[in-house]
Amino acid sequence: MKRGFSFSVTVVVSAIVFIYFCTVFVFIDRWFGLMTSPGIMNAVAFTGVAFMCVLNYAYAILADPGRVPSSFMPDIEDPEVPIHEIKRKGGDLRFCQKCSCFKPPRAHHCRVCKRCILRMDHHCNWINNCVGHANYKVFFVFVVYAVIACIYSLILLVGSLTNDSQNDKQHSADTFRIAYVISGLLLVPLSVALSVLLGWHIYLILQNKTTIEFSLIFLKLNRQYHEGVRAMWLAEKGGTVYKHPYDIGAYENLTTVLGPSIFCWICPFSRHIGNGLRFRTAYDRVSTSSTSK
């Protein structure tokens, strides 16, 4: 997938570089001194967080979010696939007219990338890429490290301001005022926005939903209710409560996205995610328990 220059990515990279240099060479230096033990420890710690943030950001940009194989063909007679997603109208299997291929469960066509994306969450302009099956984890981990870095830098900014000595106040005000003001204007809204984004995706992971799947339940688009709204309505009409089919329990939902080992959850790479063509569902448990009986 060829992608050209992205203004949004340039803005993000510029902000990361600016905040890093201000944090290390202004905030830490003026608070502790870079040559002191506390200064070195904080500089190393912040550099480590910044490095992991940049690493995950780069991988989220460069990684293919998930490509539907040209040979994919849904097998409705496969007993190991208890659920098949169908079109809103007609009840046929989901087929993408633009890509001329069947769409696996949770796959959607991206108008920007102009192809179907496996387990598509959303298209993110800030990474100039879709967030899908193959790069959702690194996108999430990037947000985690970005929140840590912003809050860490904000604490150092405040500490640096409050710990300036009386002799350096005038010099600090004249020389570093612009760095403090710009950093504050960047860090405060970034910390809030990224924290909200992190909380949102933690909720989605615990429910094993994508942003699109959440929208399908609650949004009305093009004067037609989406699959989730229709499913909820049909379930309530039948006297049952609608349950997201891919919700298999909070802990198992976490391991589905972040990996089976808790020690690898904040690592950028993992091969646990499978091929993205089939996902465990709540119906798997039902069929397993029925078979055991």
Q: Interior CA angle at 74 toward 70 and 76, to 5°?
A: 165
Asked if 242 contacts 85 with a C-beta cutoff of 8 angstroms, the reply is no
Q: Does 53 qualify as catalytic in the annotation?
A: no
Residue 262: other Cβ atoms inside 10 A: 11
Return the amino acid letter for 275. N
**CA–CA distance, 114 with 98 (Å, rounded to integer):** 8
Cα of 265 vs its chain's centroid, Å: 13
Rounded CA-CA distance 256/271 in Å is: 11
Q: Which are the contacts of 136, defined by CB distance < 8 A and separation ≥ 6? A: 65, 119, 121, 257
- Exactly one of 53, 101, 113, 124 is catalytic; name it: 124
Give 76's DSSP letter.
T
With helix as H, strand as E and coil as C, how does 5-50 read? Answer: CCHHHHHHHHHHHHHHHHHHHHHHHHHCCCCCHHHHHHHHHHHHHH
Residues 199-224 as b or e (16 or more Cβ within 10 Å = b): eebeebbeebbbebbbebbeeeeeee
Residues with a catalytic annotation lie at: 124
